[in-house]
């Protein structure tokens, strides 16, 4: 992998000809707003994806040309894209004020995400801010907070549980083939109020549909994903251990497969307490299988 160097976003003061380098702000996420598409859906476009970049000032033609030499192509302004939504849905993640849609390689995005000059401006941590060890294909994902789902299906952030995961794939690449081996290992730092309680370990997968709806699946004890109706009472555990009590740090093999079905997958893992409360990662593990 040879990531592109960071772009220099030049702001020219036309009154005196001075130039200064602005801080680049990237915005991305798997939060789907109305009349937009999920960034995970955008990554299905082979080795390209789409991000949002925000500048202090509208980049000039020279700025755009300079960014293009870095492998970053600015496509349109948000206002233009909002008017062309139906025609340009393939290049739109979401619309924001003073935001430009960007098409660039995943290698360039991963490099940009690691730079101190980058500021993430979404409300949640950036997805797929990943550090790739090229020697063995390991991919590390940031620590994220947990969310709770109660027996009525209400989702809250009322938990101190945090999650981290490690995704190992054979011959790591942005878009995976069905034959690639995928091994996802998870670590849960359990809310101290839950430590010692009996719990079931659960894994849930979400697959987005083109109409902005999603299908939900649960991983059962036979390591097969079956449809789930978002009812915590019907959520099956993926391990058989009626006496499992949560430790302060809980490690588990979330998923392992050498033949994933095609499509876009967002994975969640965690536990269900005896009162029915489900606690899972707030930021999904996202993969595209072609």
> What is the per-residue pLDDT for 132?
34
Query: Do strands 25-27 and 48-54 pair parallel, antiparallel, or not at all (unpaired)?
Result: antiparallel
Give the range among 28-32, 50-54, 177-181, 211-215 with minimum mean pLDDT: 28-32
> What is the per-residue pLDDT for 106?
56
**Residue-wise pLDDT tens digits, 75-84:** 554 444 333 3
Evaluate whether 93 touches 36 at the Cβ level (below 8 Å): yes
Mean pLDDT along residues 123-132:
36
Give SS3 for 118: coil
Q: Domain spans of the chain?
A: 10-120, 131-289
Mean pLDDT along residues 226-232:
89
Mean pLDDT along residues 159-164:
89
**Residue-wise pLDDT tens digits, 166-210:** 766 543 333 566 666 677 788 899 999 999 999 999 999 888 776
> What is the per-residue pLDDT for 161?
92
Tell me the percentage of the chain whose pLDDT exceeds 90: 16
Q: Where does the pLDDT of residue 120 fall: very low under 50, low under 70, confident under 90, or very high at 90 and above?
A: very low
Give SS3 for 163: strand
Q: Where does the pLDDT of residue 128 fall: very low under 50, low under 70, confident under 90, or very high at 90 and above?
A: very low
**How is residue 219 written in tokens?**
């991983």
- Nearest CA-CA partner of 254 in 217, 288, 204: 204
Tell me the percentage of the chain whose pLDDT exceeds 70: 46
Class of domain 131-289: mainly beta
- Nearest CA-CA partner of 277 in 187, 147, 189: 147
101 burial via Cβ count (<10 Å: 0-12, 13-18, 19+): buried
User: According to the per-residue pLDDT averaged within each range, which of 15-29, 135-149, 163-177 is highest?
Assistant: 135-149
Evaluate whether 95 touches 78 at the Cβ level (below 8 Å): yes
Q: Which residues contact 135 (CB under 8 A, 6 or more apart)?
A: none
> What is the per-residue pLDDT for 265?
80
Evaluate whether 176 touches 289 at the Cβ level (below 8 Å): yes
**How is residue 189 written in tokens?**
């730092």
Q: Which stretch of DSSP H or E encloses residue 144?
A: strand 138-149
**Residue-wise pLDDT tens digits, 53-97:** 555 556 677 777 776 776 666 655 444 433 333 333 333 333 333
Q: Which residues contact 157 (CB under 8 A, 6 or more apart)?
A: 145, 146, 147, 148, 282
CA distance 147 to 162: 9
Question: From residue 166, how far is each of 52, 178, 229, 263, 267 by CA, in Å?
Answer: 26, 19, 27, 21, 12
**How is residue 243 written in tokens?**
């006496």
| Better-predicted residue by pLDDT, 41 or 114 | 114
> What is the per-residue pLDDT for 111?
59
Mean pLDDT along residues 123-147:
48
């Amino acid at each position: 992998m040879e990531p592109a160097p960071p772009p220099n976003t030049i702001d020219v003061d036309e009154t005196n000809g001075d130039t200064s380098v602005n801080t680049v702000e990237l915005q991305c996420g798997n939060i789907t707003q109305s009349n937009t598409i999920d960034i995970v859906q955008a990554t299905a476009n082979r080795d390209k994806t789409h991000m949002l970049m925000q500048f202090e000032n509208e980049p000039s033609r020279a700025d755009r040309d300079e960014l293009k030499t870095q492998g970053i192509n600015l496509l349109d302004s948000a206002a233009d894209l909002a008017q062309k939504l139906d025609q340009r849905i393939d290049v739109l993640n979401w619309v924001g004020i003073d935001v430009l849609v960007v098409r660039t390689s995943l290698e360039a995005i991963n490099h940009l995400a690691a730079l101190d000059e980058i500021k993430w401006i979404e409300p949640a941590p950036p997805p797929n801010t990943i550090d790739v060890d090229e020697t063995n294909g390991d991919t590390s994902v940031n620590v994220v907070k947990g969310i709770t789902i109660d027996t009525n299906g209400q989702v809250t952030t009322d938990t101190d549980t945090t999650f981290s995961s490690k995704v190992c794939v054979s011959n790591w690449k942005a878009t995976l083939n069905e034959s690639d081996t995928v091994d996802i290992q998870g670590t849960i730092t359990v809310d101290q109020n839950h430590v010692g309680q009996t719990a079931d370990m659960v894994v849930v997968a979400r697959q987005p549909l083109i109409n902005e709806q999603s299908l939900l699946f649960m991983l059962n004890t036979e390591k097969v994903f079956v449809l789930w109706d978002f009812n915590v009472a019907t959520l099956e555990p993926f391990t058989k251990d009626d006496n499992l009590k949560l430790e302060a740090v809980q490690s588990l093999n979330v998923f392992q497969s050498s033949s994933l079905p095609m499509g876009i997958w967002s994975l969640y893992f965690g536990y269900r307490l005896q009162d029915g409360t489900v606690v899972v990662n707030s930021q999904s593990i996202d993969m595209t299988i072609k």
